[in-house]
């Protein structure tokens, strides 16, 4: 069957057609799983929470209303709530961002790769010192590539509050990173602007 490209049209079909919901699942399962995996860092738990996310989405689909942001923002909001409950129920600490994976340079130059690895460790150490909500904000903005309006839906805040929090967070990271910068030698440029 040929499904509409628009998620919003597909949502309308999915309210009465389970196969249409299956198409929504196929479109968004990888992104939801990746978001959850970055938060819990265990494949089995990420798979379980992803399945629960889509089960809840199906149950709440009749009440879903477009809020000017993509459907996946609504799905990530459900996932966010499930992850928060999972941590509370299991009394687990947040997974250190250092465990989120290796995003290093792959240009084959050992010196460049070593520098990129050091910059990444420095950045992750600075982000790991942030409160959990700010870590999540950084993850959603820079790893998931979401816009402030989408993040606002997921975090249950206004778009203005998300922009302000992001600005304060990035300024704090810039300050932290500039304090960690080596006093002598080559100046390093970190993500988020600044040097």
99 inside domain = no
**Are residues 56 and 120 located together in one domain of the fold?**
no
What percentage of the chain has pLDDT greater than the value 90? 27
188 inside domain = no
CATH number of the domain at 121, please.
Answer: 1.10.10.10
Q: Evaluate if residue 144 carries a pLDDT over 90.
A: no
The domain boundary residue, chosen from 90, 120, 137:
90
162 inside domain = yes
**Are residues 16 and 80 located together in one domain of the fold?**
yes
CATH number of the domain at 54, please.
Answer: 1.10.1740.10
**Are residues 118 and 62 located together in one domain of the fold?**
no
14 inside domain = yes
**SS3 sequence of the chain:** CCCCCCHHHHHHHHCCCHHHHHHHHHHHHHHHHHHHHHHHCCHHHHHHHHHHHHHHHHHHHHHCCCCCCCHHHHHHHHHHHHHHHHHHHHCCCCCCHHHHCCCCCCCCCHHHHHHHHHHHHHHHHHHHCCCHHHHHHHHHHHHCCCCHHHHHHHHCCCHHHHHHHHHHHHHHHHHHHHHHCCCCCCCCCCCCCCC
75 inside domain = yes
User: What is the domain extent for residue 158?
Assistant: 108-180
**Are residues 85 and 122 located together in one domain of the fold?**
no
User: What is residue 14's DSSP assignment?
Assistant: H
**Are residues 81 and 112 located together in one domain of the fold?**
no
* Total domains present in the chain: 2
Rounded CA separation 21/71 (Å): 12
82 inside domain = yes
| 145-180 residue pLDDT tens | 888 988 888 888 899 999 999 999 999 888 888 876
Full-prediction pTM beyond 0.85?
no
Q: At 184, phi and psi to the nearest 5?
A: -120, 165
2 inside domain = no
The domain boundary residue, chosen from 41, 58, 90:
90
Q: At 42, phi and psi to the nearest 5?
A: -135, 125
**Are residues 85 and 45 located together in one domain of the fold?**
yes
| 42-72 residue pLDDT tens | 899 999 999 999 999 999 998 888 877 788 8
189 inside domain = no
């Amino acid at each position: 069957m040929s499904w509409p490209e628009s998620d919003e049209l597909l949502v309308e079909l999915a309210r009465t057609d389970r196969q249409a919901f299956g198409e929504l699942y196929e479109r968004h399962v990888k992104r939801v799983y990746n978001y959850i995996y970055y938060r819990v860092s265990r494949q089995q738990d990420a798979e379980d929470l992803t399945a629960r996310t889509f089960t809840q989405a199906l149950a709440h689909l009749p009440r879903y209303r477009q809020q000017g942001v993509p459907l996946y923002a609504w799905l990530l909001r459900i996932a966010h709530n499930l992850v928060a409950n999972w941590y509370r129920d299991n009394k687990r600490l947040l997974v250190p961002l250092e465990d989120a994976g290796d995003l290093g340079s792959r240009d084959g130059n050992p010196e460049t790769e070593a520098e990129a690895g050091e910059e990444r460790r420095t950045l992750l150490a600075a982000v790991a010192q942030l409160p959990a909500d700010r870590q999540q904000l950084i993850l959603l903005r820079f790893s998931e590539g979401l816009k402030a309006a989408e993040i606002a839906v997921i975090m249950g805040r206004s778009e203005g509050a998300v922009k302000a929090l992001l600005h304060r967070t990035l300024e704090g990271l810039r300050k932290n990173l500039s304090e960690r910068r080596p006093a002598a030698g080559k100046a390093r440029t970190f993500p988020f602007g600044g040097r």
